[in-house]
Amino acid sequence: MAQIKCTLYCHSRSLHIQQLYTGFDILAENGIVKLGQEFVNCGKNGALHNRYPKSAAHAHLAVELLSGNKQKLILYFDNLDSREIDEHDLQNCDIYFKRSFSPNYISEQRSEYKDKIYPLGLNYWVLPNSFSMTTLHRNVSLPDSVRGKLGGVISSIDTKNRTQFYPRVRDLHSLPAVSHEPKVLFMVTAYDPYDWSERPREKIEERIHINEFRADCVRALRKELGPKFFGGFVHNEYTREHYKDVLLGDPQSAKKQNYLQILKEFPICVATTGLHGSIGWKLAEYVSFSKAIVSEKLNYDVPGFFQPGHNYLEFSSPEECVEQSMKLLSDQQLRTELMLNNSVYYQHYVKPDMLVFNAISVAMKRLNEQIA
């Protein structure tokens, strides 16, 4: 593929789109793309912008792609948790990449645009390994609090994490640890349903259901697996008041650096559905660390072959979560197969540079078809 010029239209430092920034930065470092960026104000015309407590656009990124023969495409990346498609931005781009990609919803609500909407893939917070002026310029220029800007500058310059830990590509990957003692991990958070006064009733009920389901899974796993299980709720004001019996024993274990160290020691990991039916970021981390995964049924599609029985065992109740976990504890061959399959999937679809490269490849294929 000839070098392609990509211009990022940046307006947000949201963790939702850091994986995209990291992917573009790595591709530029390796000479695959020529990267530029412009800083823009967040538009308010999209249909989603008033539906959530923060502007939905914080999780969006527009990119102009210019091929070697001067053909131009506008790519739009939507990393919002929910399935909704922003109609304004959809109409103003050539290809729309959607993290929470629902074919049924698109067919029912956006059928006239279905040929321009593609699944983006699993999302997680990850920063580049090396310094770049592009990253530093972005972190200095984008709006944020003074503390946020300072953190952005430190994360850009201190790439060895000498002063503070930031999750970088090198920290969020390992080959399958097939020889480790089989144990199950499920560290998770709970959401305060009432922390935003304008939250719709159905979204309050959704958070309550998510919290209760996760708590029941922790209780069941603790009871049935005993010392073969480690997990519980992250400590916060809400969980300390409402879920005392399922809290993590040590609050410090949930700090990112500590959590990643713990994660490395557990071959089997449990994932549940996130807000708005989304695929949680932990699932991407589990895949990155080549884990054998037990996951609640996924509501959205991702690129490539990522299926139950091949990459994860699925469950729909706490009892089934325990059953599938015990299956992986006792079946070394199945456990190893899932770990190997996830290691391969990470290399092709989750690594930040590959996730972005795959999107660019889709765009170039579409461009070539238009020219032909």
Tell me the mean pLDDT per 10 residues along the chain, length 372.
Answer: 87 95 97 95 47 64 88 95 91 95 94 93 97 94 86 94 96 96 98 95 97 98 98 97 97 97 98 97 98 98 98 98 98 98 98 98 85 59
Domain that holds residue 238: 174-350
| Pair 328, 292: CB distance under 8 Å | yes
Kindly state whether residue 320 falls inside one of the protein's structural domains. Answer: yes
Kindly state whether residue 271 falls inside one of the protein's structural domains. Answer: yes
| Pair 234, 214: CB distance under 8 Å | no
Domain shared by 143 and 235, yes or no = no
| Pair 336, 291: CB distance under 8 Å | no
| Pair 185, 270: CB distance under 8 Å | yes
Kindly state whether residue 82 falls inside one of the protein's structural domains. Answer: yes
Kindly state whether residue 169 falls inside one of the protein's structural domains. Answer: no
d(CA 355, CA 347): 9
Domain shared by 192 and 337, yes or no = yes
Burial class (CB in 10 A: 0-12, 13-18, 19+), 22: buried
Domain shared by 137 and 266, yes or no = no
Radius of gyration of the chain measured on its C-alpha atoms = 21
Burial 248-274 (b: 16+ CB within 10 A, else e): beeeebbeeeebbeebeebbbbbbbbb
Provide the number of structural domains found in the chain: 2
Kindly state whether residue 111 falls inside one of the protein's structural domains. Answer: yes
| Pair 41, 11: CB distance under 8 Å | yes
Domain shared by 149 and 235, yes or no = no
Domain shared by 339 and 365, yes or no = no
Domain shared by 298 and 270, yes or no = yes
| Pair 325, 294: CB distance under 8 Å | yes
Domain shared by 204 and 237, yes or no = yes
Q: Strand 72-78 vs strand 60-66: parallel, antiparallel, or unpaired?
A: antiparallel
d(CA 126, CA 123): 9
Contacts of 122 (CB under 8 A, 6+ apart): 279, 283, 284, 287, 302, 349, 350
**What is the domain-level CATH number for residue 337?**
3.40.50.2000
Q: What is the pLDDT of residue 42?
A: 56
Q: What is residue 354's three-state secondary structure?
A: helix
For residue 226, give Cα distances in angstroms to 36, 183, 215, 311: 53, 10, 16, 25
Domain shared by 250 and 272, yes or no = yes
| Pair 57, 46: CB distance under 8 Å | yes
Query: Which residue bears the tokens 């916060």?
Result: 236
pLDDT tens, position by position, 185-211: 999 999 999 999 999 999 999 999 999
Domain shared by 283 and 294, yes or no = yes
Domain shared by 226 and 181, yes or no = yes
Domain shared by 99 and 30, yes or no = yes
Domain shared by 110 and 11, yes or no = yes
Quick one: residue 277, left, alpha or beta (phi over 0 = left, psi -120 to 50 = alpha)?
A: left
| In 128-183, beta strands by DSSP E | none
